[in-house]
Structure formats: structure tokens, C-alpha cells
Amino acid sequence: MFELDSNRPELVKTIEELVEQKRYAELRDKLSPLEAADIASICGDLPEERIPLVFRLLPKELAAEVFVELDSDQQELLIRGFSNTELKEVLDELYLDDTVDIVEEMPAGVVKRILQHSDPDTRKRINDILKYPEDSAGSIMTTEFVDLIATMTVEDALKRIRRTGPDKETINVCYVIDEGRHLMGMLTIRTILLAEEDDIIGDIMERNFIYVRTLDDQEAVARALSRYDFLALPVVDKEERLVGIVTVDDAIDVLQEETTEDIEKMAAILPSDKPYLKTGVFETFRSRIPWLLLLMVSATFTGQIIAGFEDALAAVTVLTAYIPMLMDTGGNCGSQSSVSVIRGISLNEIEFSDLGKVVWKEIRVAVVCGATLAVCNFVKLMLIDHFLFGNLSVTPLVSAVICLTMVCTVFCAKLVGCTLPMLAKRVGFDPAVMASPFITTIVDAISLFIYFRIATALLHV
């Protein structure tokens, strides 16, 4: 029994010492009770050349589980060091969907060796899954599920589960198919266990259930698993034949990856599928520079607006000092709206048909926010900037210009912030790209334009 995260740093240290001192028997005893994910993360902290050694100490089944959790670099290193027998042993222990994940990451030479040492049936199944496009339900499904026949009794079904269960990824949900492998129904192991031995599977199975297709988007599938609290979803091919299932653990991984991608896009980063510390400097550079360049160049418009009003600025120089405040507040207001809407779209809470509702809500929020900010800002300008700092060029009229601009900017920012992501979604772009940085650039230009128009009108410059 381990308490969650009770003493991990200490444990890692002890294990590193044991490896160092070659006390392998103790090391084995320390490692075997751990979870595979923890051993894999300990391996991540070890020098590369020690990993095969640690790996060979583990009991076969645990070794396979650890193997799945390792980084692909480490997996490749291990596979290259494996004898053919070792490779076959590990592969035999893996579930098919994990093997496919590994195959997808390996260079061609390693893939060839993996396929050579899988049995013909597994090889065929791996190749079948590899055919599905990335990010499709087919690419994350496993073909190792329990299938039953409608005419079986519960007793027959239990026998079949006991016989085939050890090789299946899950037995918690079983699927009923006809002789053409068409999906007819599903039932949980609980239903089977709680039924009478002579009940007929076809009578107790659930006929109303949701299925997905091999080409469905993996994110939609994962969201469905989460929405309906399912442990697995069946996947059918074009001929409605049951070809696999997607399990909840894979769905959680998909949700996590997709969320990270969304967050990266919102911060103007091209999404990568590697953890931060595993990504090389050049790779990180490549994922960040395109948006930086694009946004830098688009700031030209904002510069042009300032250049266009150079005379006004020269006449009332104090106006320049409030440019950052107006730009930042506009940017923040815009990103608040856009991020709320983008997250709502991701979670399927907001659809395009809600555009009217969203805009109407944002308009009202904008009015209240704008008014509050303007009033507070006016007070601050007069009390702090004018009296406290003694900046006499901050006259009530100048303050009025700034605060009026504030109201208009907030209004435009919220409006642009909530509409752009929805329009992006509508025309098939990713709404997440319409987040803070992009909105900020647009709102900057708008707010400066408003600022100078109001200034020239009210201050007669």
C-alpha cells in the first residue's frame, strides 16, 4: 500500500543509489511493488545506459507495462538492445493499442523488427489500425474486446469471458455481435454477474447505446466517453461491423492532449505532442516563432495609426503615456471574452446557433465593465496622476478623452473577442487560434484609432 505521492523524491534517490551500487536484488524488491507509470518516470531520471539494466530486473508483465509508459526515445533504445527473444516476450505482453502507439513513434527499421517478431494475427491487426488517420477513433481503439453472441446463456458468456478474458484490454463491457460481426447490443460485466445463469444474453443486453465510427474524430469520441460516463465505446467500420473499442483511459489521454493543444494555441504556440522538458530548443523555437513573426508584422497597422496621428500626439504629448494602459485593458477584455467562448466551444457548451445569446451577453457585460473601468480610471487620473503626481497636463478634458476611449475599447474588445472564435469555428478554423494574441493585435489597432479620433474631436488638435 502506498499513499499517493507520499515520498517519491526520496524513493527516486534510494533507487538511484541502488543502481549506482549495483544492489540488484534490493532494487528489484523496491521496484516491483511500484506502479508502471512511476517506474517509467524514475527511468526518465536515470542515465540512459542504466535503463536496460533496470528494465531486465522487472517481472515480465510489469516490464511490459513500464515499457508502454516510457518515452519513445527510451523505448527505441531498449528495443535496439533487446535480443529477438526479449523483444518477442515484451510484445506478447503488450495490448494491441499500446503496440500500435509504439510502432507509430519508431523509425522504420525498428518497426520492421517489431512486426517481424509479432505473430501473424497481431501483425495483421497492427497494420489494420495503422491505416486509420491520426486523430481518428480507429487510431486509438483496441481490437481486444470481449464479444458475445445473443443466443448465449449467461453461463456460456461467463465461460467465454473466463477463457478469452486474459487477453482482453477490458472485460468490464462486453459486446454482442451477430454472425456477420455486426454490433447488436452491449452489456456490462455487472449486468452479466447480477443475472441468472440461464438468462439469455440477447434478452438482457442493452440495445440502446451509442457507437462511433472508425473515422470519427478522437476528441469527439473522448468527449462522449466523458459526457456519458462510459468505460468504453464500440467502434464500427463502414459496414457497421464491430472492429474495436475505445477505453476510458485512452479517452482521458486524448482529452488531456487536446486541452494542452488548445492552451498552446491560445498562447500563440504551434502545438507539439511532447512534454515541455522533452522538447529540444530548436523544436520549441519552431513552435513559437511563426506566430511571433506574424503578430509582429501585424502590429505594423497599429504603428501606422500612431504615425497617422503624429501631429495630435505632438500637440498633446500626455496622450502617449496612456497608450499602453488602453491597449492592455482592451487586450485583456478581449481575451477574457475569447477564452471563455473558446473553452465553451471545446466543452460543447456553446454552438454557433448561440451566437446571438453570446453577443447579447457580452454587450451587457461590456457596458458594465466599460463603465466601471472608466469611472475608476477617471478618479485615478484626477486623484493620482493630476494631484498626487502633479501632472497638470492631465486635465479633466484629457481624462474624459481617455475614459471615453476606455468605454469604446472595452465594448469593441468584448464584441470582437466573442464573435471571432465562433466565426472561426463556423468556417472550419480552430477557434483556439482566435485567442488572446490575435485578438490583442486587432483590439490594439481599434483602440488606438478610437483614442485618436476622440482626442482630435474633443481636444481640437
Site for a second copy in 199-228 (CB under 8 A): 207-213, 216, 220-221, 224, 226-228
273 is a contact residue toward a second copy (CB under 8 A): no
Beta bridge partners of 136: 217
Rounded distance between C-alpha atoms, residue 446 and residue 408, angstroms: 9
Only segment of 48-56, 79-87, 99-107, 341-349 that touches a second copy (CB under 8 A): 341-349
Q: Which residue of 77, 158, 359, 461 would you call a contact of a second copy, by CB under 8 A?
A: 158
Only segment of 86-94, 99-107, 128-136, 441-449 that touches a second copy (CB under 8 A): 441-449
Rounded distance between C-alpha atoms, residue 286 and residue 292, angstroms: 10
Q: Which residue of 14, 72, 153, 284 would you call a contact of a second copy, by CB under 8 A?
A: 284
Site string for a second copy, 363-392 (x = CB under 8 A): -xx--xx--xx--xx--x---xx---x-x-
314 Cβ partners below 8 Å, 6+ apart?
none
Q: Which residue of 332, 382, 400, 430 would you call a contact of a second copy, by CB under 8 A?
A: 332
C-alpha cell at 96: 494491441
- For a second copy, the closer CB: 161 or 400: 161
Only segment of 14-22, 107-115, 127-135, 283-291 that touches a second copy (CB under 8 A): 283-291
239 is a contact residue toward a second copy (CB under 8 A): no
Q: Counting beta carbons within 10 angstroms of the beta carbon of residue 450, is it exposed (0 to 12), middle (13 to 18) or buried (19 or more)?
A: buried
User: Any idea how long the chain is?
Assistant: 461
Can you tell me whether residue 141 is helix, strand or coil?
coil
Beta bridge partners of 206: 186
C-alpha cell at 57: 530486473
Beta bridge partners of 147: 175
Rounded distance between C-alpha atoms, residue 171 and residue 393, angstroms: 76
409 is a contact residue toward a second copy (CB under 8 A): no
Beta bridge partners of 234: 245
Site string for a second copy, 170-199 (x = CB under 8 A): xxx----------x-----xx--xx-----
- For a second copy, the closer CB: 116 or 304: 304
Nearest to 452 by CA among 355, 271, 348, 319: 319
C-alpha cell at 82: 533487446
Residue 84: CB atoms within 10 A of its CB come to 10
Rounded distance between C-alpha atoms, residue 169 and residue 100, angstroms: 14
Q: Which residue of 103, 295, 359, 459 would you call a contact of a second copy, by CB under 8 A?
A: 295
Q: Which residue of 55, 322, 449, 452 would you call a contact of a second copy, by CB under 8 A?
A: 322
C-alpha cell at 61: 508483465
- For a second copy, the closer CB: 73 or 112: 73
396 is a contact residue toward a second copy (CB under 8 A): no
Q: Which residue of 214, 434, 444, 454 would you call a contact of a second copy, by CB under 8 A?
A: 444
114 is a contact residue toward a second copy (CB under 8 A): no
248 is a contact residue toward a second copy (CB under 8 A): yes
Only segment of 70-78, 109-117, 336-344, 420-428 that touches a second copy (CB under 8 A): 336-344
Total binding residues for a second copy by CB under 8 A?
131
Residue 185: CB atoms within 10 A of its CB come to 20
Q: Which residue of 64, 66, 245, 327 would you call a contact of a second copy, by CB under 8 A?
A: 327
Smallest gap from Cβ 344 to a second copy, in A, equals 4
* Phi, psi angle pair for 391, to nearest 5°: -85, 95
Nearest to 119 by CA among 127, 110, 109: 127
Q: Which residue of 13, 23, 124, 357 would you call a contact of a second copy, by CB under 8 A?
A: 357
Rounded distance between C-alpha atoms, residue 461 and residue 42, angstroms: 68
* Phi, psi angle pair for 343, to nearest 5°: -65, -40
159 is a contact residue toward a second copy (CB under 8 A): no
Smallest gap from Cβ 89 to a second copy, in A, equals 21
Phi-psi region of 206 (alpha: psi -120 to 50; beta: other; left: phi over 0): beta
Site for a second copy in 64-83 (CB under 8 A): none
Only segment of 16-24, 77-85, 120-128, 319-327 that touches a second copy (CB under 8 A): 319-327
